[in-house]
């Protein structure tokens, strides 16, 4: 069968039947997105899993607008030379939407914004940071950031740093925008761990995705797997390319369920910590489940504590620690009186501080800022922190 462009159109096999979105969870998610004027990659990229994921009350938020400055030939997201102005309230809107939906694992992706001086890295980091304040596990599927832009995102401490190579090296120019390449994407994944270590930041789990059906050869796929493992990539997702509209590249081959299972076993044999390989799999598909399978962020443990130190009605702590260092912390409670932004500044000061130094840093902050209204001192704070970390194991 031939399409309007004269290219032979392959008939979809039975295993690619897609269930349409339905049910109360999907309706609630759609309503929340509308209230906060948020976009999802589920809609903009016509993801085949929208029915399943939305039915479970999960979604991948797409930040920085719905206009991409690149034009990959497999993607249905709208493209232009310039995107829409960034929303300063988008980080807060994301956190509010996540709370309303009761999420504990949030996936963020974005359009490419080559029209911005930092390509949107600062905005991406701000969105991650706002989610982390609410103790949400965060997965960032970023553009091909390197250097200072990548450092900006890493400082916001995402649990997963994802970037897609999309296809094997030989098909990059045919499938992706001319500004993208396999080597550039590989450098994102490689640098993410190296730069995090150099900057003494939490080392994120790294993740990438390859779509199959563009005409890639099996030996090319296996070679790409080996190259990705050499770059310490932790999680691999393999899925079937599905042509969104007649404007995108045609499908050259439909990969059987059995072959996906074989590719998964090969990827695991090559050392990936977790692999999803299925016809409808995409980068964010079962994101929370696959991170658990991969063992979470290496060396990172989460803590939460609730107590009443002397002089304070109630205080709630939550966050993450790596070794003896505080990586992220949220401080909430019934204090006497103090502007809320002071607590946010305190949380920033405590990032990277060793647990044993927390009492001293806390008291120093109060003295430096001239604050007498927190209703808690460094000793009370440090005691609750130690208790929370002890309970986290």
d(CA 4, CA 2): 7
pLDDT at 175 over 50: yes
Q: What percent of the chain has pLDDT over 90?
A: 44
pLDDT at 44 over 50: no
Question: What pLDDT shows up at residue 60?
Answer: 78
Question: What pLDDT shows up at residue 90?
Answer: 95
Question: What pLDDT shows up at residue 206?
Answer: 95
Residue with the bigger pLDDT between 21 and 295: it is 295
Distances in whole angstroms, Cα of residue 231 to Cα of each of 222, 224, 227:
15, 11, 7
For range 310-333, the mean pLDDT: 75
Angle among Cα 334, 338, 339 to the nearest 5 degrees reads 115
Question: What pLDDT shows up at residue 248?
Answer: 94
pLDDT at 377 over 60: yes
pLDDT at 24 over 70: no
- Strand-pairing partners, residue 302, are 320
Cα end-to-end span (Å), the chain: 60
pLDDT at 176 over 80: yes
Q: How many CB atoms lie within 10 A of CB 113?
A: 25
Tell me, rounded to whole angstroms, the distance of Cα 27 from its chain centroid: 24
Tell me, rounded to whole angstroms, the distance of Cα 364 from its chain centroid: 34
For range 150-172, the mean pLDDT: 96
Residue with the bigger pLDDT between 226 and 321: it is 226
Question: What pLDDT shows up at residue 55?
Answer: 43
Residue with the bigger pLDDT between 51 and 157: it is 157
Residue with the bigger pLDDT between 358 and 114: it is 114
Query: What integer best gives the mean pLDDT of the chain?
Result: 82
The predicted-structure confidence for 199-240, as pLDDT tens digits, reads as follows: 888 889 999 999 999 999 999 999 999 999 999 999 999 999
Residue 15 pLDDT level (bands cut at 50, 70, 90): low
Question: What pLDDT shows up at residue 174?
Answer: 96
Question: What pLDDT shows up at residue 6?
Answer: 56
Question: What pLDDT shows up at residue 390?
Answer: 77
Residue 345 pLDDT level (bands cut at 50, 70, 90): confident
For range 237-250, the mean pLDDT: 92
Question: What pLDDT shows up at residue 54?
Answer: 45
The predicted-structure confidence for 46-95, as pLDDT tens digits, reads as follows: 455 444 444 444 567 889 998 999 999 999 889 999 999 999 999 999 88
Residue 338 pLDDT level (bands cut at 50, 70, 90): low
Is this structure's pTM higher than 0.75? no
Top-ranked range on mean pLDDT: pick from 3-12, 177-186, 370-379: 177-186
pLDDT at 296 over 70: no
Lowest mean pLDDT among 224-238, 281-295, 313-327: 281-295
pLDDT at 20 over 80: no
Question: What pLDDT shows up at residue 239?
Answer: 93
pLDDT at 162 over 80: yes
Question: What pLDDT shows up at residue 235?
Answer: 93
d(CA 39, CA 66): 7
Please, where are the H alpha helices in the chain? 24-35, 41-44, 50-55, 90-101, 121-133, 147-154, 172-175, 182-198, 218-230, 257-269, 287-294, 340-350, 358-369, 378-391
Question: What pLDDT shows up at residue 344?
Answer: 76
Judge contact between 112 and 68, C-beta under 8 A: yes
Lowest mean pLDDT among 15-29, 30-44, 251-265: 15-29
Top-ranked range on mean pLDDT: pick from 138-142, 313-317, 350-354, 360-364: 138-142
């Amino acid at each position: 069968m031939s399409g309007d462009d004269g290219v032979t159109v392959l008939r979809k096999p039975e295993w690619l039947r897609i269930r349409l979105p339905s049910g109360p969870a999907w309706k609630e998610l759609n309503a929340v997105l509308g209230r906060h004027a948020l976009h999802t990659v589920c809609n903009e990229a016509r993801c085949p899993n929208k029915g399943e994921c939305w039915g479970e009350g999960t979604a991948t938020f797409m930040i920085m607008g719905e206009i991409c400055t690149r034009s990959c030939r497999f993607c249905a997201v709208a493209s232009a030379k310039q995107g829409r102005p960034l929303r300063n309230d988008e980080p807060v809107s994301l956190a509010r939407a996540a709370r309303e939906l009761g999420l504990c694992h949030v996936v963020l992706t974005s359009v490419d914004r080559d029209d911005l001086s930092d390509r949107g890295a600062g905005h991406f980091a701000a969105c991650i940071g706002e989610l982390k304040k609410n103790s949400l596990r965060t997965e960032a599927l970023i553009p091909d950031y390197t250097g200072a832009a990548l450092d900006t995102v890493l400082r916001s401490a995402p649990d997963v740093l994802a970037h897609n190579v999309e296809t094997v090296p030989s098909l990059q120019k045919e499938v992706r925008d001319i500004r993208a390449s396999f080597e550039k994407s590989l450098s994102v994944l490689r640098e993410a761990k190296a730069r995090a270590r150099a900057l003494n930041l939490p080392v994120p789990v790294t993740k990438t995705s390859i779509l199959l059906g563009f005409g890639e050869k099996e030996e090319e796929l296996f070679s790409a797997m080996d190259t990705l493992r050499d770059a310490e990539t932790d999680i691999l997702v393999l899925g079937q390319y599905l042509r969104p509209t007649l404007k995108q590249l045609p499908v050259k081959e439909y990969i059987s369920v059995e072959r996906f299972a074989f590719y998964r076993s090969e990827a695991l044999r090559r050392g990936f910590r977790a692999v999803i390989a299925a016809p409808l799999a995409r980068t964010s598909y079962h994101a929370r489940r696959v991170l658990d399978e991969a063992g979470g962020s290496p060396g990172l443990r989460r803590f939460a504590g609730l107590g009443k130190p002397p002089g304070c009605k109630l205080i709630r702590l939550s966050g993450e620690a790596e070794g003896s260092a505080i990586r992220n912390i949220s401080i909430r409670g019934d204090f006497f009186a103090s502007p809320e932004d002071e607590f946010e500044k305190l949380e920033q000061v405590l990032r990277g501080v060793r647990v044993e130094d927390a009492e001293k840093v806390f008291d120093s902050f109060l003295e430096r800022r001239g604050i007498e209204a927190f209703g808690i001192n460094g000793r009370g704070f440090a005691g609750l922190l130690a208790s929370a970390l002890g309970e986290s194991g």
